Each structure stands twice: as structure tokens, then as C-alpha cells.
């Protein structure tokens, strides 16, 4: 695979001390398609990136997530290698990250920083928070990954455009991972080296503020991927609150015959709401499972080259060569109505039998009773 099929994507914000060495190392490795997406740097990051031969895209908004969302639609290469411009990741690890993508083994590859951390590049507090977030992710999404916050990744361009991304800040890494799981993309982790930032530069990540945003993002997105966890957790909290209020009401009644009518009503409401949330979670979990399997099957068929219209219609091609033969689920008179090989397929006024039916694209058909 030629390096011309790979876009090196580097998001930056005030990285003038590290951007040129990063670009230069990639160029020495034979990567010429280098795109820097800048978040309105106030230093000379943009000038140095352009002087080094990289293309520069200035985002319209602010935040790392916003920058990536804007630029993904402009990339024409088949593969994308995402790397931070702060010099903490090694360009020499690019081949290791790209290998599963180029060999067709994965659609999304994450570089695991925790395998080889150099010189205290991650502080103890950040390391603890990182591990907790990864465990939280694994518990909700049932996928075992060790570094979902890594900024060194590779994607197929087709795969990244399937993701519905909305987070504007540092939550974008966790959102890309979650969306990949939801869409059924194949994710692989590979070990990489993580080194300290260049001297005189500061991280833009705020451990507590951004960590809380990431946790809330993981939890909020669970309502469509793992509804039982999302609604079950809320149902447990509401139900437990109702149980505790009920214990208080029952104690006062049994010991001193004191009635708490409003609290009794509140207890009943809380317990009922808790049970309903559990039921919503169970129903949502079944629906999410069916949706997940459907998405994975669609993407598997798409990788095999099956046209999308054929997947939707259930036929080999559209329009089918013989509607009567390719639509056995239709009543005979219904098939004749949908035989669009005739000059006026919808001219007949015979009543269709109840049940699902399929129309060719662009056909506007009206039905009338006798």
C-alpha cells in the first residue's frame, strides 16, 4: 500500500516548539500527505507547519473534537492516521498502528500508551483516572480496551465517516471509540511508546474538568448501547430512595402510630418509577441488541461489496429482473401491481392484501378501494 493513500492528521493548538520535528519525522518515513488542523494558535504553529511542507486547515470553532469533526469530511485518502502535535507520540510507531488497517484486520486501531510510558509522561493522578475510565467503559460497553483516551489512532476513511460524532473537546477520543463499538467496527489495540511533552510546553487537558466530561459522555452514550445499565442504574437509585423513605414511614407507623400520608404516596411513586425504569432498560436492551446485530451484518456485507440497495431490498440488484420471482412474500395480485416493467405499473385499482410490500425507488403509487 502506497503512503499516498494515508493522511497524517495532526490537531494542534500552540505547538510551535514540537510541530516541525513531528512533521519532519513523518516526511523522513515517506509520508507526504500531512494535514495540520489548527485551533487558532496564537504562536507560530501555523507558520512553522506550512514552512515544513504540511497542509494547514484552520477550524472554525474551538476544541479538539470540533476540529476533527470539521476536517474528516475534507480527507480524500483511504486511511487516516491521527496523532497529537505535542511530540508525545513517536512517528516511528505509525507502521505498527497502520499494519492492522492495511492488512484488512481492523477498521479502527488505538495506540495503547500504557504499555510503554517514558520518564513519567503520565502523572499518577492522571494514570489512576485513566484506568478508572477504561474500567468504566469496559463495564458499560463490554469491550476490553486499555487506553480509550489515546490520541494516536488509525482509521479507514469509510469507517470514520460512519461515526456520529458530536463532542467538541477532549471527549472526542472516547466518543470515537464508543461509536466504533456501536457501529460494529473492528477495533484493535497495539502497544506504543508515550514520552513527556517538549520542554516549555503545557498540556491543554484539565484532569478533573475534562475527566468529568469524559465520564459523563461515556455514561450518556450508554442509553443506546447498554440501556439496561443506563436505566437500571437510575432505576436502582430511585427504587432505593423509595425503599428508604418507606422504611422511615413504616417505622413511625409501627412504633408510634404516626401517619405520613404524603411520604407514603412518595414512597409508592418512587418504587413504581424505579420498576418502570428497569422495564424500560430491559426493553431497550433487547432493541439495542437487535440494532447492534443488524448494523454489524450491514457493515460486514458492505465490506464484501454488496450494494446498499440490495441489502435494503433483499435482492441481488435493483430493480429486480423479475418482481414475481424476487418477491415471494407478496400476494400474486400485489406482484402484478408492482411489475414496473409495464408502462403504467400503478394503473390498476385492485385492492392490495394487507401486509408489507416494497416499492421501487421514485415510484408514487396510490391505492383506492372498489
Decide if pLDDT at 355 tops 60.
no
Please report which confidence band the pLDDT of residue 286 belongs to, taking 50, 70 and 90 as the band edges.
confident
Read off the pLDDT of each residue in 219-236 and give the average, rounded to a whole number: 88
Q: Which of 33-47, 188-202, 279-293, 356-370 has the lowest mean pLDDT?
A: 356-370
pLDDT digit string, tens, across residues 94-135: 999 999 999 999 999 999 999 899 988 888 888 999 999 999
CB atoms within 10 A of CB 91: 21
pLDDT of residue 370: 38
Whether 278 and 231 have beta carbons less than 8 Å apart is answered as yes
pLDDT of residue 301: 72
Read off the pLDDT of each residue in 8-25 and give the average, rounded to a whole number: 95
Decide if pLDDT at 271 tops 90.
yes
Q: Which of 76-90, 176-190, 194-208 has the lowest mean pLDDT?
A: 194-208
pLDDT of residue 289: 79
What percentage of the chain has pLDDT greater than the value 90? 53
pLDDT of residue 36: 96
Length of the chain: 370
Q: Residue 193 and residue 76: Cα distance in Å, rounded?
A: 29
Q: How is the beta sheet containing 6-12 ordered, strand by strand?
A: 55-58, 34-38, 6-12, 79-82, 153-156, 108-117, 187-194
Read off the pLDDT of each residue in 253-262 and give the average, rounded to a whole number: 89
pLDDT of residue 69: 92
Nearest to 363 by CA among 335, 336, 350, 344: 344
pLDDT of residue 176: 95
Q: Which residue has the higher pLDDT, 322 or 71?
A: 71
pLDDT of residue 313: 54
Q: Which residue has the higher pLDDT, 207 or 215?
A: 215
pLDDT digit string, tens, across residues 126-180: 899 999 999 999 988 889 999 999 999 999 999 998 898 989 988 999 999 999 9
Amino acid at each position: 500500500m502506497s503512503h499516498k493513500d494515508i493522511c497524517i492528521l495532526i490537531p494542534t493548538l500552540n505547538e510551535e516548539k514540537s510541530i516541525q520535528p513531528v512533521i519532519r519525522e513523518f516526511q523522513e518515513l515517506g509520508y507526504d500527505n500531512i494535514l495540520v488542523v489548527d485551533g487558532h494558535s496564537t504562536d507560530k504553529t501555523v507558520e512553522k507547519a506550512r514552512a515544513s511542507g504540511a497542509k494547514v486547515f484552520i477550524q472554525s470553532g474551538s476544541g479538539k473534537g470540533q476540529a476533527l469533526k470539521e476536517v474528516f469530511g475534507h480527507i480524500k485518502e483511504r486511511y487516516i492516521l491521527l496523532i497529537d502535535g505535542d511530540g508525545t507520540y513517536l512517528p516511528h510507531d505509525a507502521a505498527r498502528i497502520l499494519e492492522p488497517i492495511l492488512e484488512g484486520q481492523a477498521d479502527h486501531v488505538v495506540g495503547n500508551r500504557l504499555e510503554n510510558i517514558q520518564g513519567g509522561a503520565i502523572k499518577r493522578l492522571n494514570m489512576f483516572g485513566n484506568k478508572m475510565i477504561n474500567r468504566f467503559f469496559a463495564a458499560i460497553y463490554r469491550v476490553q480496551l486499555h487506553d480509550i483516551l489515546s490520541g494516536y489512532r488509525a482509521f479507514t476513511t469509510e469507517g470514520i465517516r460512519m461515526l456520529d460524532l458530536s463532542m467538541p473537546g477532549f471527549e472526542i477520543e472516547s466518543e470515537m471509540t464508543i461509536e466504533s463499538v456501536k457501529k460494529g467496527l473492528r477495533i484493535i489495540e497495539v502497544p506504543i511508546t508515550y514520552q513527556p511533552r517538549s520542554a516549555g510546553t503545557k498540556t491543554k487537558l484539565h484532569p478533573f474538568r475534562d475527566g468529568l466530561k469524559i465520564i459523563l459522555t461515556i455514561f450518556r452514550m450508554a442509553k443506546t448501547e447498554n440501556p439496561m445499565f443506563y436505566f437500571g442504574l437510575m432505576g436502582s437509585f430511585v427504587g432505593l430512595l423509595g425503599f428508604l423513605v418507606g422504611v422511615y414511614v413504616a417505622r413511625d407507623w409501627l412504633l408510634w402510630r404516626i401517619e405520613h400520608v404524603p411520604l407514603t404516596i412518595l414512597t409508592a411513586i418512587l418504587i413504581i418509577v424505579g420498576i418502570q425504569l428497569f422495564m424500560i432498560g430491559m426493553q431497550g436492551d433487547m432493541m439495542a441488541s437487535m440494532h447492534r446485530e443488524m448494523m454489524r451484518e450491514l457493515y460486514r456485507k458492505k465490506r464484501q461489496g454488496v450494494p446498499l440497495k440490495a441489502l435494503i431490498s433483499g435482492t441481488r440488484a435493483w430493480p429486480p429482473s423479475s418482481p414475481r420471482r424476487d418477491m415471494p412474500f407478496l400476494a400474486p395480485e400485489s406482484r402484478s401491481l408492482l411489475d414496473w416493467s409495464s408502462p403504467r405499473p400503478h394503473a390498476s385499482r385492485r385492492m392490495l392484501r394487507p401486509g408489507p410490500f416494497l416499492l421501487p425507488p421514485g415510484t408514487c403509487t396510490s391505492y383506492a378501494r372498489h
